[in-house]
Structure 1
């Protein structure tokens, strides 16, 4: 049993290091906890042991105890199995959203309570305020680092027990605080991409679990341009990895993925980053999660993001009787991707969000009609 009131999720990075430092300096009784969420697969690409050592070193420097928990089985069942199923279905999932809901703010929160703590804290760039008994999730002061998009599945119970000590800081300030405090993580490179893939090749990693099956690469009007190595390796708007050289009868302009037909194993491509086939004005979602527990109205206007770091987009929301959404945008949106999340905002306040299930993009609609 810990005597700490707050348990800080120590990832071995600079953000969680400074989160712990700020709480300690504010007089909060804290301890650290390092989560192992991915079992080493023998590839040599997993940095978990390095991160663990860095987390231990920082806690030693801060003079706070550190605990350890292995959530790799829970991660596999709650996050990775879903990740694979989505890719196999031709969608592009966002494992960070699921990891926050299923691991960091569920199993980690449970572990903190088992240790006798009231709160957890993480190095996420976001803010929580309690207003009239309601916990609200707000964007971070540093908009370029704001992570509320990834946290939109959290509810009242999680947010009321969570602290985000970095919510009012810029990333440059965080690194400077860490450097002045002599924390070994002050210059550590930020992790990029999907956490369990790390720096390795995405296609090679996915091929271990979803064997490649080559198929035709076509233009939207059906002309065959070549072969793709596996339709689920690609996502809408992607340019890299197509390996399309000069094609007779076409301008020497870059090609982009504009659609996927998983059933027929066909990848559709078109020229130009602004291809009309990449644009939509309406999306439909799976069941929405409201941070407040209920929508503000059955129909309302707000701002939305359909991908991380996208500028807010004006839209009208229609909450359908089955709890799903119809989102109508004021302007056409590029590469809105089923499997990703649409996250709703009222100013700085994150209202919640949902997984995108479909859009009115012309090619996507045509493929749906053919499949029906």
Structure 2
């Protein structure tokens, strides 16, 4: 017979956390709702949904029959997440603030607050699962059962202490089942659209948001022959693999000269921060966009220590199928991976997350990735050294 707990649920205003709270109450737990306000710089903006989300969360709590508290974590968020977000972009990298938000806010500040309320467990609407392994005595982070909604990638920095106190009620369900339950029990947000994008940016244009915090520093755009074909507005405003918004779609003579056809699309291939140069290539499968290996830093391992070198799978971005790889080296602070098939647009600042089947082992922040073909002499790469290995990064940071 399962034990009953006092569980504090993070109610976001969305359907996943709402159904999570209902499921826990049905199981006999004492459930308390918490709505986390993490951003308030432009709370009255057309892009910020915080006010409506709070109203939705309160309505859900009323229908389910639980208490709910509004808690403001905006100061913690700005110090622990947003400041790091800006530092990474200013360094030419592309961070994933949602991963840091989970580690620093939802499973740290929120967890601490819940413990002060006497909670034994916390719960969120993430599509993931926690399993205790009696053989090792460790808590394992598992993928959610819905392969289209699995969010273990965003949770890979959670520790044993955090997982021991965490429940993911919808991790065992498909999204369609969650929607069905919400409709059947009459939740007011049963048909609410899933939130997308970075929480503090909302649906606003990304470059418009960054303009408020990062100064523009224009510089040359060069192709893989070293020819200047345009001007960028600042390296912080671009990411590897980016196709839209480059302002070079009309450069026909360059594309034709390369033999790829004058209409072949351009992609960001690398960013030279010291030289303030944006390098672009034509064609989705250009060798500069394909990396057979990567190195990651700032590693975080769910078990508290790195796994043994060997064959695993990895994701280098969220919306990506698992890619077969070999963990070459791994330590408490970093690791190196090689892939069976080169990976597309491996981006410094994003996270490489390692899996052993359905078990998420942890991951780290991508620091550099080698290209399948070395740059031609007219495009001298900025190399960095890791002991005896030489890696040509897709971004110099």
After superposition, residues 1-372 of structure 1 pair within 5 angstroms as 5-41=6-42, 42-132=44-134, 133-244=137-248, 245-250=250-255, 251=261, 252-297=263-308, 299-320=309-330, 323-361=333-371, 362=374, 366-368=381-383
Partners of 2:192 and 2:207 lie apart in 1 by: 26
Structure 1 distance, partners of 2:286, 2:334, is: 29
Name 2:258's counterpart in structure 1: none
Q: Whole-Å Cα distance in 2 between the matches of residues 271 and 39 of structure 1?
A: 41
Residues of 2 paired with 1:294 and 1:321: CA distance? 8
C-alpha distance in structure 2 between counterparts of 1:50 and 1:273, whole Å: 40
**CA distance 1:322–1:15, shift in 2 (3 Å):** closer
Residues 359 and 365 in structure 1, CA contact (< 8 A), matched pair in contact too: no
Deviations 1:61-119 (A, max 9, x none): 11100012110010001100000000000000000110000000000000000000110
- Could you tell me which runs of 5 or more consecutive residues in structure 1 were left unpaired when the two chains were aligned: none
Q: Distance in 2 between matches of 1:350 and 1:71?
A: 28
> TM-score scaled by structure 2?
0.90
TM-score normalised per structure 1: 0.95
Aligned residues: 369
Q: Distance in 2 between matches of 1:308 and 1:191?
A: 15
> Does structure 1 retain, via aligned residues, the 8 Å contact 2:126–2:170?
yes
CA contact (8 A) 1:40 1:46 kept: no
State the Cα RMSD in Å: 1.8
Distance in 2 between the 1:67 and 1:320 partners?
A: 42
Q: Is the 8 A contact 2:128 2:144 kept in 1?
A: yes
> CA separation in 1, counterparts of 2:228 and 2:329?
41
Q: Secondary structure at the match of 1:288?
A: strand
Residue deviations 1:178-206 (CA, integer Å, cap 9, x gap): 11111111111111111100010100100
Query: How far did 1:226 drift?
Result: 1.1
- Tell me, what secondary structure is at the counterpart of 1:343? strand
How far apart are the structure 2 equivalents of 1:257 and 1:296? 33
Deviation at residue 318 of structure 1 after TM alignment: 2.6
Q: CA deviation at 1:323?
A: 3.3
In structure 1, C-alpha distance between the alignment counterparts of 2:83 and 2:41, rounded to whole Å: 16
Q: Deviations over 1:95-147 (max 9, x none)?
A: 01100000000000000000001100000000101111311000011011000
The Cα shift of 1:368 comes to 3.1
Q: Distance in 1 between matches of 2:59 and 2:107?
A: 24
Could you list the runs of 5+ residues in structure 2 that have no partner in the other structure?
A: 256-260, 385-391
CA offset at residue 328 of structure 1? 1.0
- C-alpha distance in 2, partners of 1:329/1:233? 29
Q: Confirm or deny: 8 A CA contact 1:4 1:116 kept in the other structure.
A: no
SS at match of 1:358: strand
